[in-house]
Each structure stands twice: as C-alpha cells, then as structure tokens.
Chain A
Amino acid sequence: MAATSWWRRLAGLLGGLLAAGGARAVALPDDVAEAMVHVYNGGGVTASGPALLLRKSLSDRVSLSGSYYVDMVSNASIDVVTTASPYKETRNAYGLGMNYVERSSLITLAVASSKEPDYLANAVNLDVAQDVFGGMTTVNLGFTRGADKVGKHGTPGYFDTADHWRYRLGVTQILTPDWLLTANAEAISDYGYLGSPYRVALVYGAAVPERVPRTRTSRAFQLRAVGDLGEHNIVRGVYRYFWDTWSITAHTAELSYSRYIGESWQADAFVRYHAQQGASFYSDNATSETTYVTRNRQLSTFTDGGVGALVAYTAARVPGSYAVTINGSVEALRFKYSDFTDIRTGKLYGFDALLAQLLVSVTF
C-alpha cells in the first residue's frame, strides 16, 4: 500500500515536470567516438587499460551509446603484501545507454555491467533532465538499481550478494550570462555483503577476518559553480559533504581553471582535496571485541590531495561536420592516513600516486 502511494507520488511529480514545457528544448548530447588509455600507479597498485565510448543519434530525438572499459590491475598494495600474495586480475565493464528527448525533457536509460574474476556488478540507471523557467533552470532526477554477486578466489561460483539503490536530485541554474550553479544530492542504500573476503582486521594484534555491517545508507550534497571571468578565463569550484550510517563524514573540494590557448589548444589546471572521518567500527588494532571490526583504510580517517593538468589539442575541425580532439591529463595524488599503521615499520602509512589519461575524441 505504501509502495503504491509512493509510486503514485513519483509518477505525479514526473508527469508534472514533463508537462511543464520550457521555452528552450533540451538537446541530445553530441554524437561522439572516444578512445582512451588510462593508468593509475600508486601504493603498490598499477591499474591500466583502454576504454571506448560511442554515442550516435538515430534521429533528432533518440541517440544510443555503448561503452567498454578495461582495468588490468596488478596489486601489491600494503594490505596484500602484509597479509596475502600480490596478484593480477582484469576487470571488464560494459555500458549501453539510450537518450530520448521529449519537448524539454531528456530521458536517459542506461545499463552497466562490470565483471572481474570474483565480483559481478550489474546496474540499471534512469535519469530525467527537465528544462524549466525559460531554459534557465534544469532539474535532474535519477535512480540506479544495482545488484552484485560476490565471490572468492578458489571458491567456485558466488557466495553472497550486494544490492544498491541510488536516488539523485539535481538543479542547474543559470545565474548570469557568465555563471552557472549546480546543486546535487544523492542518497545511496546498500544491503548485503559489503566487505572483502580477503581483508583481515587486527584485534589485540591478532589477525581476524573483518566483520562489516550488511546495511549502509549514505547521503551526499554537492555544490558546483562555474564562471567566465572574461575572455574565456574559466574558473570552477566544487564542494561536497558526505555522511553515512557507519559514522563516516567527508569533505571534498576542487578548484580548477581553464582557458583557450590560441585557436587549437585548451588547458585546465586543477587542485582537489579530500578529508574524511573514519567509520565507527574501524580500528588500526582493536583492544576490545566488537560485533563489527575492520582495518579497511578506505574507511579510516585520512586526507588526500591532488594537483593536475589537462591539455586538449584540436587536431582537425570542420564546422558543422566533425572535430578531432586529443586530450592528455596527469594528476599527482598524495594519501596520508591518521590511524592506519604500516605494520612493517610501525609508522603511520601514506603513499603517492599518479593518474594519467590519454584520450582521442571525435565529435561528428
């Protein structure tokens, strides 16, 4: 009964939004073909591989997209070298999407699947973007349903599942002829196996399998502003606040600056900072027995920062026909943990990492 009422309310809201025609119709995203090579190296982990994206309109109202992404991971991280053996594995991810424009609405339906030897993740996404207020405001509503299967090396099949529900709401507002502001909110609920079958926690110095709750609900709120300071000197600012039922809170901020250089070049420079307070059941070395305990440093208290640059070169452009752009991006990262000890040295752990992407993009 409650579910029926909820769906009716959502249908009423969506129907109302779809019926509210703006003065400017939303447009399909550009037809594009992208090929990328990516590499991440840091903390004993190297992940690299290719990625492809193709999006093509079938008419002025419908476009289809497909993507393929490969992560070849060589893992000799501190967790692995202190409790297990380094390993290599490959993750393949596929995505299919459809965009549909109806008056001032852009409706996107997408499915995604990610497969690695011990984990299978499937997700369905539905997003609606609606222009209102003479095209000055865009309202976004989105929903994702994910269903994962969790396995373990050496054990055939999967031993557990994890389900995910994501609800998104966003508003983008034109403030002035030079400034845009976006506010996004997202609620995520998870149920199932949310830990790792390989990870161990320390209790009184003894290694025990980690014990993580089977439920988690999180909320995140983000503000983004982008503006033109004049003559295409573009600045962006992003801030996100995050909190969840595991008592984790986090602040993430990013600033960037972009500009054209001559006719064919574009350059971005950016800095990013993240700080988080760890989960209530995280412990570097627990001194009491508790229902839940983990030594997953992703759930610990730490900060990380990054500084990077992106350069784009337009190699060919025929207005109204096609454009070929080559993008190169490099980012240096540093992670610094407040309560995760390197048990080999007894000192707090930290590491540097490098992230790089090379992408060729053809719009047509």
Chain B
Amino acid sequence: MRTSSRAALVAAVALPALLSGCAIEPWVKPYERERLADPIMNLQRSTLIGQHREHVYDVREASRGATGVQGSGCGCN
C-alpha cells in the first residue's frame, strides 16, 4: 500500500512535468496555429451528425469505441 501510494505520488509529479515538456520547447508557437484553429480542420463534423453516423455504424458492426464521440446506449441489436 505504501509502495503504491509512493508510485501514485511520483506519477502525479512526474507525468505532468513530462507532459508539460520541461526539456523540449513547444515548436509550433501560438501565432502559428491560425490554420489549425479554422473550423474546417475539426476532426469531427457537427456534434449531431457525428453522433448519428457513429450510431448507424455501432448497431451494424461489432467494433466500437475509441472514436472520440460519446454515444448513448440502445437496444438496437
């Protein structure tokens, strides 16, 4: 238990530091992100269209998940 608490503490401190990139500077500056911020770059189309499309596939294919789209359940099987 003490070991796992210590591991959690190390993870809590080390992971954000790692993710914050202490050693590597962000190489795309905020003023260079104009094109990325354009709505046409969105990975997902409108929320409703995206959810509906996922639903159509979910009830006909066996695979599911990892699409970045939240869906609600149904008994459509």
Contacts and interface: CB of A to CB of B under 8 A. Distances in A.
B64 A218 contact: yes
B74 A116 contact: yes
Interface in A313-350: 327, 329, 331, 335
A298 B61 contact: yes
B21 to A, nearest CB: 4
Interface residues of B, number: 58
B7 to A, nearest CB: 7
B47 to A, nearest CB: 6
Say whether chain A's binding surface is mostly helix, strand, loop, or mixed.
strand
Interface string B14-29: 0111011100111110
B73 to A, nearest CB: 3
A23 B33 CA distance: 14
A150 B74 CA distance: 10
A260 B28 contact: no
Interface residues of A, number: 110
A304 B66 contact: no
Interface string A253-265: 0000011100000
Contacts of A244: 62
A112 B72 contact: yes
B61 to A, nearest CB: 6
Given A12-B11, A15-B12, A121-B72, A355 B63 contact: no
Given A12-B8, A329-B49, A132 B16 contact: yes
B45 A9 contact: no
A140 B13 CA distance: 18
A76 interface: no
A200 B45 CA distance: 38
B36 A178 contact: yes
Interface string A215-236: 0001011101010100010101
B68 A182 contact: yes
Interface in B43-75: 43, 45-49, 51-53, 56-57, 59-68, 70-75
Nearest to B5: A8
Contacts of A122: 73
A288 interface: no
A357 interface: yes
A278 B16 CA distance: 41
B38 A240 contact: no
Interface in A124-171: 125, 127, 132-137, 139-140, 142, 144, 146, 148, 150, 164, 166, 168, 170
Nearest to B28: A174
A174 B36 contact: yes
A166 B9 CA distance: 25
A187 B66 CA distance: 8
Contact of B11 (A13, A53, A67, A135): A13
Contacts of A188: 64-65
Contacts of B1: 1, 5
Interface stretch (A34-42, A56-64, A201-209): A34-42
A195 B59 CA distance: 13
A36 B66 contact: no
A172 B56 CA distance: 26
Given A119-B75, A127-B70, A355-B53, A274 B40 contact: no
A9 B48 contact: no
Contact of B65 (A127, A186, A298): A186
Contacts of B5: 8
Given A112-B71, A133-B20, A168-B65, 13 more contacts: A9-B4, A16-B12, A32-B47, A40-B56, A112-B72, A125-B70, A135-B30, A136-B27, A139-B19, A188-B64, A228-B38, A242-B66, A266-B40
11 contacts: A12-B11, A20-B16, A51-B52, A150-B75, A166-B65, A180-B36, A182-B68, A220-B65, A242-B62, A296-B77, A359-B48
Interface of B: 1, 4-5, 7-9, 11-13, 15-17, 19-21, 24-28, 30, 32-36, 38, 40-41, 43, 45-49, 51-53, 56-57, 59-68, 70-77
